[in-house]
Copies of this chain bind each other. A is one copy, B any other.
Amino acid sequence: MATLKDVARLAGVSVKTVSNVVNGYSFVKPDNRRRVEEALEATGYRPNLGARNLRRGRTGFIALVLPELSIPYFAELAGLVIAAAQDHEWNVLIEQTFGTLAGERSALASLGPHLVDAAILSPEALQVDDFQLPVPAVLLGEHAVDVPISRVGIDNVAAAQAAVRHLISLGHQRIAAIGAHPHRGTAALRLEGYRRALAEASLPFVDELVVPALNYHRADGAAAMRSLLDLRTPPDAVFCFNDLLAIGAMRAAGERLVRVPQDLAVVGFDNNEESAYSSPSLTSVAPDKAAIAQAAVDLLHRRVEAGDVLENVETPFSLQVRESTVAR
C-alpha cells in the first residue's frame, strides 16, 4: 500500500507537498500539482485513516450501542444511522448489550476517545452513575434516569395515549397492557400514557390487566397474552409496548382460537416492517425512525464541531391503523 512517502519520491517532491495536494491546500505550483496528481494516480494512494486520525485527534467513528441487532426495531434504526452518519464521513461501530446491565457497562467501558468520536446510546438498564461518558453522546428514547445528556425520541406518553385512545374509540372497555418493566424508562412512560387514556375516558385502571415483560421479545408477548387469557374475565383489547410483544400476543391468541380483532384488538409500538405483513396486520405506533437517526447523528456532529450542545429533540410519530384493530 502506497504511503505519502512513496508518492513524494515518485513525484520528486517532499512528503508535505503531497500532503498539501491531497488536502487541497491552495499554494502549490501547477507543475508540481500535476506531477503529484500523476503520482497519486499511479500509486493508487489512499490515505491511512488511522494515522491521519491519530495526528488529528479524531477517530472517524461513532458508536451505536443498542440491545440487539436481531430486534427488528434496532436493526432498522441501525441501518438508518449508518446512512445518516455517512453524510458526516463517520463510520458506525455497533455494540450489542443484550439489554443487560453488564453488557451495557462493558460496551460503555470499551468506548473511549481513542476509539470513537461520539456515541449513540439506547440503554435499558443503566443507572445514573454509569453516565460518566468519555465522549459526546446522545440517548435514544426517554429514560427514568435524569442525566445531562441530549436525547432524541418521540413523546412516549402521548404516543401510548394515542394508541389506547384508538382502542377506546373502537368501543373497547377492558384494555390490557403488556410490557410493564421495573427499570425501563420507556415502559414507565408508555404505561403512563395508557393510564391517562383510561382516565380521560373514565375507565378503571385494573391491576390484573397490566402484565410485565422482562424482555421485549415475541416469546414474552406470547407468555403475557396466555396469562391474560387465563383471567376470569379476559381483556377485549391489548396495548403492547412493542411490536414483538404484539406479534407474540397475536400468536398466543390464535393458539387459543381467540380471533383478532373480533374477540381481541391488538396495538403494537414501533411499526416494524414485519407488522404490515402479519396476519392480521398489526396496528402500531409508528415513530419516524429516519428522523430519529438523522437527528441523533446531526446532534452529535454539532456537538463535536461546536462544543457543548445539550438538547432534547422530539421526533414525530403517527398511528398506523391496520387489521388487528379494524377488520378489513
Residues of A within 8 A of B (CB): 1, 46-51, 53-54, 59, 68-70, 72, 75-76, 78-79, 82-83, 91-96, 112-115, 134, 218, 222, 247-248, 250-251, 254, 273-274, 276-279, 281
Contact = CB atoms under 8 A, between A and B. Distances in A.
Contacts of A68: 79
A79 B83 contact: no
Given A70-B75, A82-B94, A93-B93, 12 more contacts: A1-B112, A1-B114, A1-B134, A48-B114, A50-B53, A50-B59, A68-B79, A69-B82, A222-B277, A247-B277, A248-B277, A251-B281
B113 A218 contact: no
A4 B273 CA distance: 49
Most B-side CB within 10 Å, residue of A49, A93, A94, A247: A94
A70 B273 contact: yes
Contacts of A134: 1
Contacts of A281: 251
Contacts of A278: 278-279
A87 to B, nearest CB: 14
Contacts of A70: 72, 75-76, 79, 273
A70 B1 CA distance: 34
Contacts of A91: 93, 115
Q: Which of A54, A59, A279 has the most CB of B within 10 A?
A: A279
Of the listed residues A54, A95, A134, A250, the one surrounded by the most CB atoms of chain B closer than 10 A to its CB is: A54
A248 B276 CA distance: 10
29 contacts: A1-B134, A46-B112, A48-B54, A50-B54, A68-B79, A69-B69, A69-B76, A69-B78, A69-B79, A69-B82, A70-B72, A70-B79, A70-B273, A72-B72, A72-B75, A75-B75, A75-B78, A79-B96, A82-B94, A83-B96, A91-B93, A93-B93, A218-B274, A222-B277, A247-B274, A251-B281, A254-B279, A278-B278, A278-B279
